[in-house]
Amino acid sequence: MRSVDKLAPLAMAALALTIALGAGVAAALLVIGEAKQSAKRDLASATSIVSAAVATSSDPAPLLASLDAVPVVDSAKLYRATGERVADYQRPPHEARFRALTQRLFPTQVACSGVVFGGGPATLCLESTPDVLAPAVARSLLLLGIAALGALLAGVLTGKLVARAAARPLAQTADVLDRAAHEQSYSLHVPDGLGRLSRAINDLLAQMHERELTLRRRTIELEAANKDLEAFAFSVSHDLRAPLGSIDGFTQALEMDYKQLFDDTAREYLGWIREGCRQMRDLIDGLLQMSRIARLDVQRQPVDLSRIAQSVADSLRQSNPARAVTFDIRDSVRAVGDERLLRAVIENLMANAWKFTRNRDEAHIEFGVAGGAYYVRDNGAGFDPSHAAKMFRPFQRLHSAREFEGTGIGLATVQKIVERHGGRAWAEGEVEKGATVFFTTGDVAAA
């Protein structure tokens, strides 16, 4: 609005000045043209009168001197046919205003007439004076000055009125847009004073309001779906655990109390039943963990990922001290995120690396940062690169349960956590050449 307040008066003043100058120049040309034509007529008339008087006069000098009474004449000369100058007249010097300007703009006019003097032919020439046009030039300049000054004043005043009239709807529109931006209230409308712009803004606000309503409806639907998921998780954790525990408990009782009645095949079947129960408990625990992660608030703070990775490596070594595993953990790797959730990410990734390198005589597990992403790399079983996209889906396994145990929940949990942080996870690898899992947390990785 400030630019409108400043530019509108200037623009209107410039426009008014241009129009006024154009009109003033036209009026000035008209005034000067009329004065010039009048001077031309007066000069011709004076030439005719003096020529007639010379023909009857024996001494033309007094006659030419009488031209002082004719303002249009500056000088007069009488020549015989032989070129001899008989008499002349020169108006006394007189400094009129704008005389020099008038001389530049309008050259001197000369009127000549053939006369009879002293019984022979002669020529009378009269020259006009610029003094006769100087008053017209002065009036024209005064007219131009008055027109320019009036145009400037009128332009500034008109510009201020226009700016005020234009600034009012602009200010109202700006207030509405400011409220819409800060209060996120899109049901507002701007005034119609800006024509197409007002209609376009109102259409945009209406569309944003409709999208806001749609988003609210979808949010309500999502909250309802989350509540259903929580109810399902509760059912899984309580309703399914109880019968599963019964199956596992009675199977164990059969193994212990009636083992003398079963042969090796029957005992093997009972072992499979108990293993199936264990896997089902792991799946239930994984589902519950994913459900809890989806509901947790991400508490962002600086996190030392190197310290977490070293702690996880120590725990893995303690779980099987006999394994020959080399851990290469880069120092001072930091991130900004939720420490509990990021620990779960590193625990899942390093536990996978520990599991898939167990067939290596010299296993190697590395944690670090590169290219703005954190990573866990191992030299284990690897995977087919064509299956990399489905690794992070729940219950998706690239190895059979007989090769490597697991539920297929770990990498899905990793992806869920990094997505909650605004990041992403992906993997690279080849069969029997190890694997590298990368992840980001929405901030710039630092080391």
Question: Per-residue confidence at 99, pLDDT binned at 50, 70, 90?
Answer: low
Span of 45-59, 279-293, 299-313, 360-374 with lowest mean pLDDT? 279-293
Task: Give the CATH H-level superfamily of domain 296-439.
Answer: Histidine kinase-like ATPase, C-terminal domain (3.30.565.10)
Neighbouring residues of 47: CB distance < 8 A, sequence distance ≥ 6: 111, 112, 113, 124, 126
Instruction: Give the DSSP H or E segment for 75.
Output: strand 73-80
> If you average pLDDT over residues 181-196, what whole number do you get?
70
Question: And the tokens for 329?
Answer: 């953990």
> d(Cα 70, Cα 47) in Å, to the nearest integer?
11
Neighbouring residues of 194: CB distance < 8 A, sequence distance ≥ 6: 169, 170, 173, 201
Question: Per-residue confidence at 307, pLDDT binned at 50, 70, 90?
Answer: very high
Return the pLDDT at 277. 83
Express each pLDDT in 113-150 by its tens digit. 787 777 788 887 877 777 666 676 677 677 767 766 77
In the predicted structure, residue 6 carries a pLDDT above the cut 60: no
> d(Cα 267, Cα 263) in Å, to the nearest integer?
6
Domain boundaries, the chain: 2-154, 296-439
In the predicted structure, residue 330 carries a pLDDT above the cut 80: yes
Q: What angle do CA 345, 348, 349 make, to 5 degrees?
A: 85
> If you average pLDDT over residues 18-44, what whole number do you get?
70
Kindly report the number of other CB atoms within 10 A of residue 173's CB atom: 20
Span of 54-63, 100-109, 170-179 with lowest mean pLDDT? 100-109
Question: And the tokens for 76?
Answer: 């007069």
> d(Cα 109, Cα 319) in Å, to the nearest integer?
122
Q: Which residues of 282-315 are buried (b: 16+ CB within 10 A; e: fewer)?
A: ebbebbbbbbebeeeebebeebebbbbbbebbee
Do 354 and 325 contact (CB within 8 A), yes or no? yes
> If you average pLDDT over residues 187-196, what whole number do you get?
69
Span of 20-29, 182-191, 300-309, 347-356 with lowest mean pLDDT? 20-29
Question: And the tokens for 105?
Answer: 């703009």
The top-level CATH class assigned to 2-154 is: alpha beta
Express each pLDDT in 400-445 by its tens digit. 556 666 566 778 888 888 988 889 999 998 888 889 999 998 775 5
- Choose between 263 and 9: higher pLDDT: 263
In the predicted structure, residue 7 carries a pLDDT above the cut 60: no
> d(Cα 363, Cα 327) in Å, to the nearest integer?
9
